[in-house]
Amino acid sequence: MKVTEHIQKAAGNTLVSFEVLPPLKGKTIQTLYDHLDPLMEFQPPWINVTYHRAETMFKKKADGSFDKVEVRKRPGTVGICAALRNHYNVDAVPHLICGGFSKQETENALIDLHFLGIDNVLVLRGDAEKNEPSFVPHPDGHRHATDLLKQVVDLNHGLYLEDDIQNGGKTNFCIGVAGYPEKHFEAPNLEIDLQYLKEKVDGGADYIMTQMFFDNQKFFEFEKACRAAGINVPIIPGLKPLTTKKQLTVLPRIFHVDLPTELSLEVMKCKSDAEVEQVGTEWLIQQSKELKAHGVPVLHYYTLGKPKVIWNVVKAIV
């Protein structure tokens, strides 16, 4: 079932969904089931599975010690989506990125997903690789999420890359795109970022899923600006708990989000990460309650190795 159909079926009740990363190369799917099993109590209608262009592995050196190395692409997203559907009878939303993929590889992945009965994709550009100063597209790939979106929309209309193929076969993907309540870091301002977001929606995106934020006011203002710009699709807030002191500097640097002073001061007073986790959990519970009262269609949680924290948050709000 499509994300938008789940939202429609919920008839105004706020749903809860989760996001996971594929396990590292060589690990088993059981690591993911162990992570998700407790969260399935909340009956998420779907689970998002991210895609990553690089992962950290360990290379053995001559002296027997190990070097940390980055290897290209982290496989598993498509297979995990199929496995989650079989194992939990839940819908899966694979993330598709432009970076590192030719259009042909993307088309093949979309056809695989279609054969697997997966009805949803979240289309994204992806970030620059660590050694690149800015995002470099694959020579035969897409530069922006809008371009990738168009390829999915074309396939939904039965238009393949080889434009002489007309076999009547169409896909039927529900398409999500990313939105940034605090603007995407490359955009000169929020207004211009919103113009591109509107392009994605006008181009066929069915809903928006947001970057994490820690101040609900930022989400409310973003939602208002979207509506004023004529963006009328569902907007799903993405939420993450703050769980370590280090994240006070890491999250703003990596995700380009502001941390509210009140939250930062509380975290700075903590004597251990266990205390930070408690503060972060309480903060996310309050955020979730307020967003739910506001009537958001879905609360989408980035579980990122913290299923217990997410369990505590969701338990407190359902």
**CB of 127: closest distance to ligand FAD in angstroms?**
5
First to last CA, the chain: 23
Provide the 3-class DSSP secondary structure of residue 176.
Answer: strand
Task: Give the bridge partners for 235, in sequence order.
Answer: 208
Q: What are 202's two structure tokens?
A: 């006008």
**CB of 249: closest distance to ligand FAD in angstroms?**
19
In which region does residue 183 sit, left (phi positive, over 0), alpha (psi from -120 to 50) or beta (all else)? left
Taking CB under 6 A as the criterion, the residue among 193, 215, 223, 266 binding ligand FAD is 193
Q: How many residues form the binding site for ligand FAD (CB under 6 A)?
A: 22
Return d(Cα 169, Cα 97) in angstroms, integer. Answer: 23
Interactions with ligand FAD, residue window 30-69 (CB under 6 A) = 50-53
Return d(Cα 93, Cα 108) in angstroms, integer. Answer: 17
**CB of 210: closest distance to ligand FAD in angstroms?**
6
Nearer to ligand FAD, 120 or 266 (CB): 120
**CB of 83: closest distance to ligand FAD in angstroms?**
17
Taking CB under 6 A as the criterion, the residue among 4, 106, 151, 211 binding ligand FAD is 211
Give the number of other Cβ atoms within 10 Å of residue 45's Cβ: 18
Taking CB under 6 A as the criterion, the residue among 97, 239, 257, 279 binding ligand FAD is 97
Residue 124 within binding range of ligand FAD, rule CB under 6 A: yes
Residue 145 within binding range of ligand FAD, rule CB under 6 A: yes
Angle between helices 103-115 and 77-88 (to 10 degrees): 10
- Binding footprint of ligand FAD on the chain (CB under 6 A): 50-53, 95, 97, 124-127, 144-146, 178, 184, 186-187, 193, 196, 209, 211, 238
